[in-house]
């Protein structure tokens, strides 16, 4: 019976963020493919308070010039965790390891060289980090410090990826990029996957207000920045019969007592699918696939999205999914009668099936079969 260890940076017991959902889907697929596999997990933090995290991030950035590791790595390469990891490796003989996220690639230094290792690439982390620090580029001293740290992180990520043999990426584009760094590695794109029965949406009376919905962790900067774009550029120009419902950690802060309703973290997503008519996916930054976009598609929810929100998702044409990049187009469309009719439609089953765990686990299984071809990117 094989014994495996999944190493992750954050469990976060308050709510289920996208990284957790994707990581857990990979774990489920691994154990479904090999019922004899026992998977343990170890986390740097079970939970991080946002203000503690912010203070620690500031410290890590300020001290990064004096460390061989970039700030994002030092944030999780703590002495306490290294001691826990060393202790668990001394007690249990693991032959299989899963490293979740680029911030944790430093753990390759601790893992036995004979072990089989799977790396879960949630994003091309250095590209995402570059987006994050770009807005500080013009700030004296801080801009230079962050850009230097971002370059250090890029070097760190690429050097460690080159040591890997088995990699899972969340999009075909990411697969192509990583294959360029390590041509000998076996890399497979595994979509975010779900194994529960998709929700059956209740019919909506046409004369009700149009209820737009946004789902996402608003403590995660790409979600927060994307929602702010919608609130600044689009929502003030929509008619009085349109209201906005926000779901996810940090969403209550956006309530205005009128047309914007922040519901906070909701453990049962059926409350969301029944509570709104049309999902909005106004993603303007970030990388990889937005897990909550994937889950909305799996539940066949109609949506209006930016092209970036659907990055990496090979959708077939679908009247339930309207794609627009420009804020003026969003305003024009949402003020028309058309969205009320779109709200009555459902995402095509073909598009929902992209996120079926039963289908995606076969691609993961092939990754570890020496004679099985690993599917290349469907589009680059």
Segment 312-353, tens digit of pLDDT: 888 999 999 999 999 999 999 999 999 999 999 999 999 999
Largest CA distance in the chain: 65
Residue the block writes with tokens 């774990």:
27
User: For residue 275, what pLDDT is reported?
Assistant: 87
What mean pLDDT do residues 18-25 have? 82
Q: How confident is the model at residue 378 (pLDDT cuts 50, 70, 90)?
A: very low
Residue the block writes with tokens 């250090």:
152
Give counts: helices (H), strands (E), the chain.
Answer: 14, 12
Report for 155-169, 208-222, 260-274: range of highest mean pLDDT: 155-169
Q: Which tokens hold the place of 331? A: 């305003």
Lowest mean pLDDT among 134-143, 199-208, 277-286: 199-208
Which tens digits make up the pLDDT trace of 70-89? Answer: 999 999 999 999 999 999 99
CB-CB contact of 99 with 85 (8 Å): no
Beta bridge partners, 8, equal 43
User: For residue 216, what pLDDT is reported?
Assistant: 86
User: For residue 298, what pLDDT is reported?
Assistant: 93
User: Is the predicted pLDDT of residue 268 greater than 90, yes or no?
Assistant: no
What is the CA 352 to chain-centroid distance, rounded? 18
User: For residue 15, what pLDDT is reported?
Assistant: 47
Which tens digits make up the pLDDT trace of 156-191? Answer: 999 999 999 999 998 888 899 999 998 889 999 998
Q: Which tokens hold the place of 41? A: 């997990």
**Mean pLDDT computed over every residue of the chain:** 88
User: Is the predicted pLDDT of residue 209 greater than 80, yes or no?
Assistant: yes
What mean pLDDT do residues 285-306 have? 86
Report for 14-28, 309-323, 358-372: range of highest mean pLDDT: 309-323
Lowest mean pLDDT among 24-28, 102-106, 285-289: 285-289
* pTM recorded for the entire structure: 0.79
User: For residue 380, what pLDDT is reported?
Assistant: 35
CB-CB contact of 123 with 19 (8 Å): no
User: For residue 206, what pLDDT is reported?
Assistant: 60
Hey, what domains does the chain have and what are their CATH numbers?
3-195+356-367 (3.40.50.2000), 210-355 (3.40.50.2000)
User: For residue 132, what pLDDT is reported?
Assistant: 81
- DSSP E strands, the chain: 3-10, 38-45, 96-100, 116-121, 166-169, 186-189, 210-215, 242-247, 260-262, 278-281, 303-305, 321-323
Q: How confident is the model at residue 217 (pLDDT cuts 50, 70, 90)?
A: confident
Q: Which tokens hold the place of 140? A: 């004296």
Residue the block writes with tokens 């009247």:
319
Lowest mean pLDDT among 105-119, 203-217, 225-239: 203-217
Q: Which residue has the higher pLDDT, 217 or 152?
A: 152
Which distant-in-sequence residues (6+ apart) come within 8 Å of 368 by Cβ? Answer: 116, 166
Q: Is 3 left (phi over 0), alpha (psi -120 to 50) or beta?
A: beta
């Amino acid at each position: 019976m094989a014994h495996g260890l999944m190493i992750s940076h954050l469990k976060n017991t308050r709510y289920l963020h996208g990284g957790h959902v994707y990581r857990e889907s990979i774990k489920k697929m691994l154990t479904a493919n090999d019922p004899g596999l026992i998977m343990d997990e170890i986390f740097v933090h079970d939970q991080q308070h946002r203000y503690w995290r912010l203070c620690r991030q500031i410290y890590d950035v300020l001290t990064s010039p004096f460390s061989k590791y970039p700030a994002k790595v030092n944030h999780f390469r703590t002495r306490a965790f290294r001691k826990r990891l060393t202790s668990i490796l001394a007690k249990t003989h693991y032959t299989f390891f899963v490293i979740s996220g680029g911030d944790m690639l430093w753990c390759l230094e601790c893992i036995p060289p004979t072990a089989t290792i799977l790396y879960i690439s949630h994003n091309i982390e250095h590209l995402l980090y570059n987006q994050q620090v770009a807005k500080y580029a013009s700030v004296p001293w801080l801009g230079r410090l962050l850009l230097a740290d971002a370059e250090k992180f890029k070097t760190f990520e690429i050097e460690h990826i080159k040591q890997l043999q088995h990699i899972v990426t969340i999009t075909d584009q990411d697969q192509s990029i990583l294959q360029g760094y390590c041509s000998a590695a076996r890399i497979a794109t595994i979509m975010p996957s779900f194994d529960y029965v998709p929700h059956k949406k209740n019919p909506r009376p046409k004369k009700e207000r149009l209820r737009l919905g946004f789902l996402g962790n608003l403590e995660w900067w790409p979600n927060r920045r994307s929602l702010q774009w919608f609130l600044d550029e689009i929502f003030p120009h929509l008619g009085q019969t349109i209201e906005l419902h926000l779901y996810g950690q940090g969403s209550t802060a956006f309530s205005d007592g009128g047309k914007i309703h922040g519901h906070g973290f909701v453990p049962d997503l059926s409350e969301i699918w029944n509570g709104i008519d049309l999902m909005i996916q106004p993603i303007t930054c970030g990388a990889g696939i937005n897990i909550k976009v994937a889950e909305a598609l799996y539940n066949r929810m109609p949506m209006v999205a930016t092209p970036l929100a659907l990055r990496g998702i090979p959708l077939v044409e679908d009247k339930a999914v309207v794609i627009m990049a420009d804020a003026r187009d969003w305003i024009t469309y949402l003020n028309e009668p058309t969205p009320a009719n779109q709200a009555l439609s459902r995402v095509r089953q073909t598009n929902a099936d992209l996120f079926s765990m039963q289908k995606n686990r076969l691609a993961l299984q092939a990754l570890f079969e020496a004679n099985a071809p690993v599917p290349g990117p469907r589009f680059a």
